[in-house]
Amino acid sequence: MNDLPALPAFPVSRPRRLRRTAALRRLAGEVSVRPGDLILPMFVAESASEPRLIGSMPGVVQHSLDSLAKAAIGAVEAGVGGLMLFGIPMHKDPVGSGADDPHGILNLALARLKFELGDATVLMGDLCLDEFTDHGHCGVLSTDGSVDNDATLQRYASMALAQAEAGADLLGTSGMMDGQVGVVRQALDGANRSDVGVLAYAPKYASAFYGPFREAVDSSLTGDRLTYQQDPARGAREALAEVALDVAEGADMVMVKPALPYLDILAAVSAASPVPVAAYQVSGEYAMIEAAAERGWIDRERVVLETLLSIRRAGAAMILTYWAHEAAILLR
Ligand code: PBG
């Protein structure tokens, strides 16, 4: 009477089988983070004679040149794959003169780390004017107060040459001016520095998650960056267009920023990009986790490693994170 096949007494498919032991889980794992995939962003302040705490980023400091060198060597020994430097000058002006001055703090720091570390790590400099301008914008201003794209490009070209001369391996073009990668590439090639590469921030969103960073670099900005950084309400279409432009202009790598709130964008970019893709776990992502952990609300180490795994799973080959040194130790 009943010609239906007999149902098995138990489910045939048991996903829990591969979760039973640590060894099975390790074998079944598909994504991992290696210390060498991590890039440590570091701050160096011209006026610092010893490390200064940054209130909004517990555990992160503004370094002096000496403490920077020591911390950088430690991070490289721990296995991190690269260092991204940000400089905080003593004096700021409308055009950010400290940015392309060979004796400006960022260039001095790059030169110092090149001297200390040579080719043992990948040295990167933030190529943007915001730390050096008295108005805090990423470019120079027009008479009407808007950021002048093409005048800024001239400043970036000069900055690129100064950073290359100081010893940077890759230049992190983070200002979101149209054409910035092309201008930097052209300036480098014209100065016989075709060996220096460009890590292009594309896509980079106008994000409130950069909040703690503003304190970290003593930012002078009073407004916002909505006229040059991307609108979070735009989707992957615009992100892919930005990536295509930067690649066409000569970007060697691209970077999605911020990371965790933009994993959809990261996944789209990593699926389409012909060049390696990095993601920047920014200051606000860091601060939120540190704050919750401080209150005992989350397990700090597990959450940190889980976020890194998530960013890798979404497709990032490299991750910029303020936990790079510590995570490198945890992952070893
Ligand atoms: C621009 C720059 C910023 C960050 C990296 N490069 C600030 C900004 O765009 O406003 C933010 C990084 C972070 O929040 O951790 N120089």
pLDDT tens sequence for the chain (332 residues):
567 777 778 888 999 999 999 999 999 999 999 999 999 999 999 999 999 999 999 999 999 999 999 999 999 999 999 999 999 999 999 999 999 999 999 999 999 999 999 999 999 999 999 999 999 999 999 999 999 999 999 999 999 999 999 999 999 999 999 999 999 999 999 999 999 999 999 999 999 999 999 999 999 998 999 999 999 999 999 999 999 999 999 999 999 999 999 999 999 999 999 999 999 999 999 999 999 999 999 999 999 999 999 999 999 999 999 999 999 999 99
Q: How far is the CA of 210 from the centre of ligand 1 (A)?
A: 6
- Selection from 80, 79, 34 nearest residue 317 by Cα: 34
Q: Which atom of ligand 1 is nearest to the CA of 130?
A: 16
Whether 92 is a known active-site residue: answer: no
Whether 257 is a known active-site residue: answer: yes
- The best mutation among 210, 215, 282 to test binding of ligand 1, ranked by most ligand atoms within 8 Å of the C-beta, falls on 210
| C-beta of residue 129 within 8 angstroms of C-beta of residue 99 | yes
Q: Is the pTM of this model over 0.85?
A: yes
Q: Which atom of ligand 1 is nearest to the CA of 211?
A: 14
- Selection from 178, 75, 82 nearest residue 124 by Cα: 82
Q: Answer yes or no: is the C-beta of 283 below 6 A from any ligand 1 atom.
A: yes
Q: Answer yes or no: is the C-beta of 289 below 6 A from any ligand 1 atom.
A: no
Question: Span 32-331: which CATH code?
Answer: 3.20.20.70
Q: Report CA torsion sign: 169, 81, 127, 217.
A: negative
Q: Answer yes or no: is the C-beta of 169 below 6 A from any ligand 1 atom.
A: no
